[in-house]
Every structure is written in structure tokens, then in C-alpha cells.
Amino acid sequence: MEFNNPIFQALLGLVIFYIGLKMFSGGMKSMGKLEHLEYFIHNPYWMFLGGIVCTLLWQSSSLSTTAIIGLVASGALPLPSAIAAVLGANIGTTGTIWLAGIMVSDGMPAGTTKHIALIHTGVNALMAVTLLPFVQPIARFVSKF
């Protein structure tokens, strides 16, 4: 088997990524209670902003969502705050398209790149702003399953 095969490299990369996410999730589950962050953890609006910031910093909504799921599984994060954080991560992931647009355009995105970035950001922001006031009812509904 040749290691320069692009299919092999892609599959190996996916396996390593999956293992990394599982290890990260396990670490987040073991964190338990975070008393010093209680004010932020129980406030969905702060968690929404936290989801945006973390995803912008990590450039990975998958990593943010994995962290959120791990914290919910450990009982450290209530479900309404987790839903708000995932909505924030969905907006934070739009930073990637802006970053790609800046790299391609040598500055602020222009033309089609700008249009794609604006639509991506606008749709995600509209969805988040629409759903954010309803995180409590959504959490109650989801917790039935």
C-alpha cells in the first residue's frame, strides 16, 4: 500500500480527526461542574456569544459542537444554553468564508466571493436571531426524546 495515495491520505485524515474529536469530547465530559462560570453557563445569550467567539478562534464548528455536547453530557451545561451556543457556533463558522474571501481577494472580498459570504452570514444570523428567543421551548421539546 502506498502512502502517497490521496484516497488513503483522506481516509487516514478523517480517522485521525474522528479520534481527536472523540478524545476532546471525553475530556470535556470529565470537566464536570464549572462553578466559576455559572453566570455565563446559565445565560443562553452569553453562551450564544461564546459559541460565536470560540468558533471564530478555532475555525471549527465541529470542535465547538463537540465541546458543547461533551459539556451537556457531563451535566455542566444546561440544554437551553447548549442550543444557544450551537446557534452561535453556526454564525462563527461564517468567519471561515470571510477569511477565505480575504485570502482570495487580497483584502476585503469582492464580487461573487462577497455575495456568497454575505448570504452565508445573513442566512445563519437570521436563523439564529429567529431561534434564540425560543431556546427554552426548544430545549423542553428536545428533552422529551
Cα dihedral across residues 13, 17, 19, 23: positive or negative: positive
Report yes or no: 139 and 77 within 8 Å, Cβ to Cβ.
no
Mind spelling out the 3-state secondary structure of the chain? CCCCCHHHHHHHHHHHHHHHHHHHHHHHHCCCCCHHHHHHHCCHHHHHHHHHHHHHHHCCHHHHHHHHHHHHHHCCCCHHHHHHHHHHHHHHCHHHHHHHHHHHHCCCCCHHHHHHHHHHHHHHHHHHHHHHHHHHHHHHHHCCC
Report yes or no: 45 and 84 within 8 Å, Cβ to Cβ.
yes
**Structure confidence at residue 32 (pLDDT):** 57
Mean pLDDT score of the chain, rounded to an integer?
85
**Structure confidence at residue 36 (pLDDT):** 66
Q: Taking the model in full, what pTM does it have?
A: 0.76
Domain ranges of the chain: 6-142
* Residues 64-118 pLDDT 10s: 888 888 888 878 889 999 999 999 999 999 988 888 888 887 778 888 888 888 9
More confident residue, 93 or 34: 93
**23 pLDDT band (50/70/90 cuts)?**
confident
**Structure confidence at residue 2 (pLDDT):** 65
Find which of 22-36, 60-74, 97-111, 124-138 is predicted with most confidence, using mean pLDDT. Answer: 124-138
